[in-house]
RNA sequence: AGGCCCGUAGCUCAGUUGGUUAGAGCACACGCUUGAUAAGCGUGGGGUCGACAGUUCAAAUCUGUCCGGGCCUACCA
């Protein structure tokens, strides 16, 4: 077959999609362009334009959870802020006014540590720095980080009110937080209790867990007998005791084991586990030939865990024994081993029985619940019941199976005690120097740890004194020494103790509002709020927070630290009550607004108390609030409350949303919920969304020590942040997000596809003007009296479908659903089908061709929607594409998602094209075979014969230019099964294809094969269609 | 150690109330095109749905156990 004679080069007459100067190159250069764009948005004041534009729209309040103002941002921050940006931008474009006020959390220990370290380097101890000076340094430290983090967030493309952010340390915020706390006080929920904390006697301070390190230490270990309570009083134990007595067990003792003898005076209970089997063991004989006389005696009856009995009895130097019965500890009451002990006259002089009245805060020691009265006898203060409590923390791995429980001196001990008896009855046996107090009668003033001299940090006299007392009381069964891991101070390396200290709490189970407790209100609100059900259809986040609120203890809100908002209250020395006086409160809040929380330390108490009260009658609380109370209060001063919103855009919102990492179930979601329920009786949010954590490519957590971290700054510099945004948008962010080279590369590929699609639209729409449009945007058909081609009707139908999918996806925060629908549309519908088919018309038709105009009109609608739908995800690239096409507009981000006319819905076109594409797949399959056999190269070299069994389908194929759809130069549609060796696809029944080469000559312009006899004599080497186009082109050129 | 959650092709993900040979996009391989060209089109390979056991006529889907991973149990945010 001969080509037309070499003649004119028609290339210049073809409407190729290249753009002059290539303003939108495929190679995006994002790392360089993105920062310029950020700067530009700042310069045009985009955020304020958005606000102005949206002022009359319905309000959607997005409340930003504040990151901590410390350090550079990491990938977790990036994921968090980008997801927030996706919400804010998509809500904004969906027709809401979505004001995004970013914030920072500023108080707290991490900054306090840093600042403390700085002072230490300068040779000053924290204790020597005045509170106000120290706090000033903390404030400056936080202030230094905020602008740095802010600029990093902006680099991520986050559109927010960066010039007007909030912090928890602004004077207004500090005053607001204090005021919030006073509201909780007024609700009657704040009380003083106590809790054991890690305490360093050497440094006279409490420590956070992160300030603790574990080192080897040798401690004494003792086995102590707790005798059964004698049945002198009527209580639950009596009946049980009677049974034991009748079994001959009245002299039975329960044995505990401990490495801290000094905590025995603080003992208030013994814990056991109902999962452990216990027995009563009677000692039969004692080891002979010992250098000392063991304390254990033949005939002693001891209750022990069966698994540990032998170890204990051997330690006690028993030679033989027998197990006489089972032992069920539940409901039994013991007596304290020192009940009948009397100190030697020297040590115990003047201390009568009963409890000391020198308790740390006077009113703290409520009567001991199980035993209000001493039992008489000669003791000095240990005449109380020691109940046996069932606890999960008890194991039979070591010890005796019974655990000495001193609620002042251990976390487990405290928990099990408060679970049974609440805050009451917990003694303050140790003072801040680590000396035993009057509440440890007989041991007052004894040091647990030596505070001075050569032996600083070694055991003080307390342990020995207690052991001596136990021996004197006949309560010691055995003792020894144990080398074990023990908590020490990170700084001083001195050993630590658990010490009960007075603390402030918010009560969860106190009725206060319509007879409901804070816990009940919070649980009710959890039911009201959407915890992602709308997005995932699942209730797992709701279940998670519900479980936490159900199980949690009272909120411990006081901290013995410096960098925070104080608990701005005065306690009456006479009765321990909190002073509640509106005038006093108003003076405190007003002063804080003026001078920040510092005024609490800098101002004499009398100034706040005014004339009505005397400062000496009150204790001024100098603890600071848990920083979670700070961030839990942000809603009050950022979003405001119904009576006092902070901005007009926060009035009457359709919804208020919080979006944070799933760890915030116990953090911000949690504290905000409790705070707001305590002060307002409702949750501060209507919707809560959570996201998972960023992992490395293997799904392992990122850590600097492993070296598998990926920094957002690196991605921004190497790939462009848009790649990360795309990656996040395409992930199921409720789960953990994997991040590695493969995912980033994949995201880069997706980016190129989308960018190239936009680029192709830009090129194809070159010079497109309104006059060329075949219908006004909202109208589907008509235009020049010609009916829109099926292909264009179908594309509009697809846009209509996508519109619904995308809006629905954004509405429910399913970004990946929106993105994958768009990407699939770009790949499958646009690139592989529509554009591939329409290239011929777009390139080669005359400019006036209705087909070409229709295509360009529809592509214009496509471009309009793609740029809008993708704008939340790819703010940089959509802006670039939009401004390339419309350089006179301000920003793509001032647009909304375009309305898509309902009339674009066209089920006929949708189904018809689906059928045609199915038949087309048989043709392309056949062409592939022909190609492999080298019969053809390009599809245009073929003119297949298509055999169709079904009349209806055949009619459909004949109703359109099926060759055009298959991009072949010709096609023949025939009825019937076709030859046996024709190409068929198993999934497309009744269609067979025989590939034949196209006849005629190859058009020099459109490369189609055609019959040269039909050619326009002026242009013999091109098809008549091309001739028409070239004629028009030539005419326009003159 | 407990509480909660996750585990479908190399990657990101779909898989309605259990019901044909488990899908998509990307990546990969091969081919075509050279007028989207550091692009575009086509064809193809690839999964015992983390493992095991059970319920059922039937399990990716329901139950249990285990394995791997994550978050939370902090005077960390």
Rounded-to-integer distance, Cα A720 and Cα A716, Å: 4
Least-confidence region, from A5-14, A89-98, A727-736, A976-985: A5-14
For residue A250, the model assigns a pLDDT of 57
Closest CA to A819 of A871, A767, A761, A741: A871
Please provide the DSSP assignment of A647-659 as one string.
Answer: SGGGSS-SEEEEE
Judged against a pLDDT cut of 50, whether residue A634 lies above it is answered with: yes
Q: At A135, is the secondary structure helix, strand, or coil? A: helix
A824 touches strand B (CB under 7 A): yes
pLDDT category of residue A220 using cuts at 50, 70 and 90: confident
Residues A833-889 have pLDDT tens digits of 999 999 999 999 999 999 999 999 999 999 999 999 999 999 999 999 999 999 999
Task: Answer yes or no: is A660 CB < 7 A from strand B.
Answer: no
The answer, yes or no, to whether residue A260 has pLDDT greater than 70, is yes
Indicate yes or no: strand B within 7 A of the C-beta of A843: yes
Classify the complex by whether its ipTM is higher than 0.90, answering yes or no.
yes
Asked if residues A447 and A435 have their Cβ atoms less than 8 Å apart, the reply is yes
Give the pLDDT of residue A644.
62
Q: Look at A132-146, A183-197, A358-372, A741-755 and tell me which has the smallest mean pLDDT.
A: A358-372
What's the residue count for chain A? Answer: 1038
A518 has a pLDDT exceeding 90: yes
What tokens appear for A311 in the block? 């170890």
Return the number of other C-beta atoms located less than 10 Å from residue A470's C-beta: 23
pLDDT of residue A267: 82
Question: pLDDT (tens digit, 9 = 90+) per residue, A293-308?
Answer: 667 777 777 778 777 7
Q: What is the largest CA-CA distance in chain A?
A: 134
- Please, where are the H alpha helices in A647-783? 668-680, 712-718, 721-729, 741-764
The reported pLDDT for the residue numbered A238 is 55
- What pTM, to 2 d.p., does this model score? 0.89
Which nucleotide has the least CA–C1' distance to A70? Answer: B77
Question: What tokens appear for A326 in the block?
Answer: 């089972």
Burial A768-780 (b: 16+ CB within 10 A, else e): beeebbbbeeeeb
For the segment 880-939 of chain A, residues whose CB is within 7 A of strand B? 921, 924-925, 927-928, 931-932, 937-939
Region A695-723 average pLDDT: 91
Q: Which nucleotides of B are covered by protein (CB under 7 A)?
A: 3-6, 10-14, 24-27, 31-44, 69-77
**Does A602 contact strand B, using a CB cutoff of 7 Å?**
no
Tell me the average pLDDT across A107-112: 91
The pLDDT of residue A1017 is: 93
Q: Among residues of chain A, what percentage have pLDDT more than 70? A: 89
Tens digits of per-residue pLDDT, A224-250? 878 776 654 444 555 555 565 555 555
- pLDDT tens by residue, A394-444: 666 677 777 888 877 777 777 777 777 776 777 777 777 777 777 777 777
Asked if strand B comes closer than 7 Å to A693 Cβ, the answer is: yes
* Mean confidence (pLDDT) of chain A: 85
The confidence band for A520, taking pLDDT boundaries of 50, 70 and 90, is very high
- Residue entry with tokens 């081609």: A789
Whether the Cβ atoms of residue A523 and residue A546 lie closer than 8 Å to each other? yes
**Alpha carbon distance, N-terminus to C-terminus of chain A:** 35
Instruction: Give the pLDDT score at A292.
Output: 67
CA A783 to C1' B12, in angstroms, rounded, equals 43
pLDDT at A353 (0 to 100): 35
Least reliable range by pLDDT among A147-161, A264-278, A516-530, A904-918:
A264-278
CA–C1' distance A733–B50 (Å)? Answer: 21
């Amino acid at each position: 077959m001969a080509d037309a004679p070499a003649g004119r080069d028609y290339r210049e007459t073809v409407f190729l999609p290249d753009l002059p100067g290539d303003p939108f190159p495929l190679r995006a250069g994002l790392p360089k362009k993105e920062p310029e764009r950020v700067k530009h948005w700042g310069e045009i004041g985009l955020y304020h334009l958005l606000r102005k534009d949206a002022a009359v729209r319905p309000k959607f309040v997005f409340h930003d959870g504040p990151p901590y103002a410390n350090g550079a941002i990491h990938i977790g921050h990036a994921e968090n802020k980008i997801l927030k940006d996706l919400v804010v931008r998509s809500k904004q474009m969906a027709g809401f006014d979505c004001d995004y006020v970013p914030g920072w959390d500023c108080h707290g220990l991490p900054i306090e540590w840093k600042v403390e370290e700085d002072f230490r380097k300068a040779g000053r101890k924290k204790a020597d720095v005045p509170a106000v000076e120290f706090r000033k340094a903390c404030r400056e430290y936080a202030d230094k980080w905020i602008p740095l983090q802010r600029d990093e967030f902006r680099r991520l493309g986050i559109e927010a009110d960066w010039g007007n952010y909030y912090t928890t340390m602004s004077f207004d915020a500090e005053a607001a937080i204090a005021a919030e706390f006073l509201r909780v006080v007024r609700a009657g929920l704040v009380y003083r209790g106590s809790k054991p904390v890690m305490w360093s006697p050497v440094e006279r301070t409490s420590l956070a867990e992160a300030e603790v390190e574990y080192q080897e230490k040798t401690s004494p270990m003792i086995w102590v007998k707790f005798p059964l309570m004698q049945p002198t009083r009527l209580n639950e134990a009596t009946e049980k005791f009677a049974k034991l007595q009748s079994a001959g067990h009245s002299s039975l003792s329960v044995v505990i084991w401990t490495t801290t003898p000094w905590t025995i005076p603080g003992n208030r209970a013994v814990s056991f586990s109902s999962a452990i089997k216990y027995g009563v063991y009677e000692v039969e004989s004692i080891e002979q030939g010992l250098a000392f006389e063991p304390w254990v005696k033949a005939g002693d009856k001891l209750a022990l865990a069966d698994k540990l009995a032998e170890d204990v009895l051997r330690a006690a130097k028993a030679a033989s024994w027998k197990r006489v019965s089972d032992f069920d500890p539940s409901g039994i009451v013991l007596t304290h081993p020192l009940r009948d002990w009397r100190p030697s006259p020297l040590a115990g002089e003047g201390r009568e029985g009963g409890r000391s009245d020198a308790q740390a805060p006077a009113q703290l020691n409520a009567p001991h619940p199980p035993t209000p009265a001493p039992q008489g006898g000669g003791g000095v203060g240990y005449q109380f019941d020691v109940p046996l409590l069932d606890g999960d923390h008890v194991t039979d791995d070591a010890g005796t199976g019974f655990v000495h429980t001193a609620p002042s001196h251990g976390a487990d001990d405290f928990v099990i005690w408060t679970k049974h008896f609440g805050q009451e009855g917990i003694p303050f046996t140790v003072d801040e120097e680590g000396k035993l107090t009057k509440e440890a009668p007989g041991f007052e003033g004894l040091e647990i740890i030596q505070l001075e001299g050569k032996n600083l940090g070694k055991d003080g006299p307390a342990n020995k004194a207690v052991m001596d007392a136990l021996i004197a009381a006949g309560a010691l069964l055995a003792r020894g020494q144990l080398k074990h891991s023990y908590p020490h101070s990170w700084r001083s390396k001195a050993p630590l103790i658990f010490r009960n200290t007075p603390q402030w709490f918010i009560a969860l189970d106190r009725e206060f509002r319509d007879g409901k407790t804070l816990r009940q209100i919070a649980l009710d609100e959890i039911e009201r709020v959407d915890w992602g059900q709308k997005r995932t259809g699942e209730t797992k986040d709701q279940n998670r927070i519900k479980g936490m609120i159900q199980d949690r203890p009272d909120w411990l809100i006081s901290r013995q630290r410096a960098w925070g908002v104080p608990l701005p209250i005065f306690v009456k020395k006479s009765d321990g009550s909190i002073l509640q006086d509106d005038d006093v409160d108003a003076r405190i809040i007003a002063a804080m607004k003026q001078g920040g929380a510092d005024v609490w330390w800098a101002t004499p108490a009398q100034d706040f108390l005014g004339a009505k009260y005397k400062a000496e009658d009150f204790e001024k609380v100098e603890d600071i609030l848990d920083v979670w109370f700070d961030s839990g209060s942000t809603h009050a001063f950022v979003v405001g409350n119904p009576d006092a919103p902070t901005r007009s855009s926060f009035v009457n919102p359709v919804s208020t949303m919080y979006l944070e990492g799933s760890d915030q179930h116990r953090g911000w979601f949690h504290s905000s919920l409790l705070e707001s329920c305590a002060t307002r009786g409702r949750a501060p949010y209507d919707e809560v969304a959570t996201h998972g954590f960023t992992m490395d490519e293997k799904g392992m957590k990122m850590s600097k020590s492993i070296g598998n971290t990926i920094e957002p700054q690196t991605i921004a510099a190497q790939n462009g942040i848009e790649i990360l945004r795309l990656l996040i948008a395409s992930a199921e962010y409720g789960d953990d997000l994997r991040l590695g080279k493969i995912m980033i590369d994949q995201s880069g590929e997706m980016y190129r596809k989308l960018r190239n699609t936009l680029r192709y639209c830009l090129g194809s729409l070159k010079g497109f003007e309104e006059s060329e449009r075949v219908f006004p945007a909202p109208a589907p058909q008509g235009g020049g009296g010609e009916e829109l081609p099926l292909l264009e009707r179908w594309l509009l139908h697809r846009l209509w479908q996508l519109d619904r999918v995308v809006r629905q996806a954004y509405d429910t925060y399913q970004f990946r659903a929106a993105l994958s629908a768009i990407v699939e549309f770009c790949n499958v519908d646009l690139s592989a089908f529509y554009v591939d088919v329409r290239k011929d018309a777009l390139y080669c038709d005359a400019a006036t061709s209705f087909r070409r105009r229709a295509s360009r009109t529809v592509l214009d609608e496509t471009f309009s929607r793609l740029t809008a739908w993708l704008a939340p995800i790819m703010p940089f690239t959509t802006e670039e594409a939009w401004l390339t096409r419309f350089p006179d507009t301000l920003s793509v981000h001032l647009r909304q998602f375009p309305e898509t006319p309902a009339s674009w819905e066209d089920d006929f076109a949708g189904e018809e094209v689906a059928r045609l594409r199915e038949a087309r797949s048989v043709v392309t399959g056949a062409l592939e075979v022909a190609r492999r056999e080298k019969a053809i190269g390009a599809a245009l070299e073929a003119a297949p014969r298509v055999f169709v069994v079904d009349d209806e389908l055949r009619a459909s194929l004949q109703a359109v230019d099926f060759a055009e759809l298959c991009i072949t130069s010709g096609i023949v549609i025939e009825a019937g099964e076709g030859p046996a060796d024709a190409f068929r696809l198993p999934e497309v029944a009744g269609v067979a294809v025989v590939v034949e080469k196209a006849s005629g000559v190859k058009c020099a312009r459109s490369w189609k094969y055609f019959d040269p006899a039909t050619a326009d004599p002026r242009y013999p080497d091109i098809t008549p269609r091309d001739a028409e186009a070239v004629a028009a082109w030539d005419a326009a050129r003159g």
